[in-house]
Amino acid sequence: MISLAVSTVSDSPSTVSATSIDRPGGFDRDDWASGYCNVEQELNAVSLRPLRGQIPAELQGSHYRNGPGRFERDGQWVHHPFDGDGMITAVRFSDSKATLSNRFVRTKYWQEEEKAGRFLYRGVFGTQKRGGAKANAFDVRFKNIANTQVVQLGDQLLALWEAAGPHALDPVSLETHGLSSLNGVLKPGEAFSAHPRFDPGHHGEPRMVTFGVNTGPTSKVRLMEFATQGPDAGRLISDRTDSFKGFAFLHDFAITPNWTLFLQNAINFNPLPFVLGQKGAAQCLTSKPGGQAKFWLIPRDCGTFAGQPPRIFDAPDGFVFHHLNAWEEGDELVLESIYYNDYPSIDPGEDFLSMDFDFFPEGRLEQCRINLLGKGIETKRFSERCCEFAMVNPRREGLSARYAWMAVAERETGYAPLQAIKKLDLSNGDQCLWSAAPRGFVSEPLMVPRPGSEAEDDGWLLVFVWNGERRASQLLILNANDLSEQAVLEMPITIPYGLHGSWVAAD
């Protein structure tokens, strides 16, 4: 059984100690690697019983999670786990009970490769068809693997992958209905973000805010907002497109009541190795020496600055996949993001299961205060500990939030697999840690507020954990306030390390 530990600390972030092992190599690589394996079963509403604890009675709804579920075909492994075919996991909670369903997204690519029993398409992150560069040259098709996020919009569940359109699924059976144009909003082949943001109601009604990007020497960002409740759920409310100079790698963004905030990383893209079959498209990205990252601030159509052109400001050095949150404070926009010193990539000659963690850049949470009057930017780092997948209480999306929850490494500095969950008090640096080390590894934590509660940290964290000792997946329910364990649910199937998930409260 995994040894779990919880500790609360109030030191400054630079002096916080880990809850257990704190040294390079303090985990077993085989334990970590064993979490990457093909999912061989699809289940429907299988009852789950807690190994320990009890499911909170007020936790009522569905936790959907997306992530790669197939890594190998006919003895060939994907080059990068992000190239794995998307599989949706649904855990439904009702009356202190839980059931599990899972199903692969039936993209046309998945169906063709299932029938052939081998990889027929290249992956964006470096997976190649057999036959070397000659067999892959000039095949520039993108395989929509629908593996990054899953959200409900209206009566459809959407499996998202940001380089193409969403796949529509049945929210109950998880059956794939096919690519969705969202009632004609999207053109065939148009990109649709895999990282939407949910406005909790800053302008009287909740909305899903999202974007699509068409990148190149000039990049176009299409910003869209959809209704999420009532008979109009799924209806497009606002739509604008803006052009910016330079190549854009955009996975995430942030929102406030009046703004959307994008970070254009200082990145070069040389497509020639991709066209010649030598690399995946993402492997052709490199940090631009001497380049200048930019903040793109696009006004929301529902806000005070509706109709105005975007504002552009210089951004700090570094590379960002994910943002935590943003809010407005006088003449400033405050944005909290996870910064890497360099673009993290796995080169063609590397095996992701044996990569050298000591040479991989770590992500660290930082705050940027952007002065809208052009008086500069102030930055603040919250901790040296490697972190990812951070979120605030969804009711505080776009507003100042005191607390954040994130997945972190067990060691205090340097890159390492994510083995712990941290609650961070953004006002004073106090931290609370829950650890699955040395043999457990965590995925993205999802914060679910307690119904009717006004306290920002009153609710639960849902966390999928890979138990390296038992070679099994578990779902942890933690108290969001103190990270105390509420329940541990053993999964009847392997659920590999996922990407993003969502919560849909029961009606």
- What DSSP state is assigned to residue 222? E
d(CA 420, CA 438): 10
d(CA 178, CA 146): 11
pLDDT of residue 142: 86
Residue ranges at the known binding site for Fe cation: 195, 251, 322, 500
Over pLDDT 90: what percentage of the chain? 89
Q: 209: which 2 tokens?
A: 């805010």
* Boundaries of every domain in the chain: 5-505
pLDDT at 430 > cutoff 50 = yes
Largest CA distance in the chain: 60
d(CA 283, CA 270): 9
* φ/ψ bin of 184: left (φ > 0), alpha (ψ from -120 to 50), beta (otherwise): left
CA-based angle 135:137:142, to the nearest 5? 100
Confidence (pTM) = 0.94
Question: In terms of Cα–Cα distance, which of 234, 246, 242, 188 is closest to 211?
Answer: 242
pLDDT at 8 > cutoff 50 = no
Question: In terms of Cα–Cα distance, which of 287, 286, 302, 296 is closest to 263?
Answer: 296
Averaged pLDDT for residues 168-194: 96
Q: Are 410 and 419 in contact (CB under 8 A)?
A: yes
Burial class of residue 501 in the structure, from the number of CB atoms within 10 Å of its CB (0-12 exposed, 13-18 middle, 19+ buried): buried
Question: In terms of Cα–Cα distance, which of 241, 297, 292, 290 is closest to 265?
Answer: 292
The CA R_g of the chain, rounded to the nearest whole Å, is: 22
Q: Which residues contact 83 (CB under 8 A, 6 or more apart)?
A: 68, 123, 124, 125, 126, 127, 145, 280
Residue type, 86: G
Query: How confident is the model over 211-268, as pLDDT tens digits?
Result: 999 998 999 999 999 999 999 999 999 999 999 999 999 999 999 999 999 999 999 9
Residue ranges at the known binding site: 195, 251, 322, 500
pLDDT of residue 344: 85
Q: Are 407 and 442 in contact (CB under 8 A)?
A: yes
pLDDT at 424 > cutoff 70 = yes
> What does 86-113 look like in DSSP terms, one character per residue?
EEEEEEEEETTEEEEEEEE---HHHHHH
Q: 88: which 2 tokens?
A: 């949706």
Q: 285: which 2 tokens?
A: 């990205």
Output helix, strand, coil percentages for the chain, rounded to the nearest 5: 10, 40, 50
* Window from 136-150, 350-364, 411-425, 469-483 with minimum mean pLDDT: 350-364
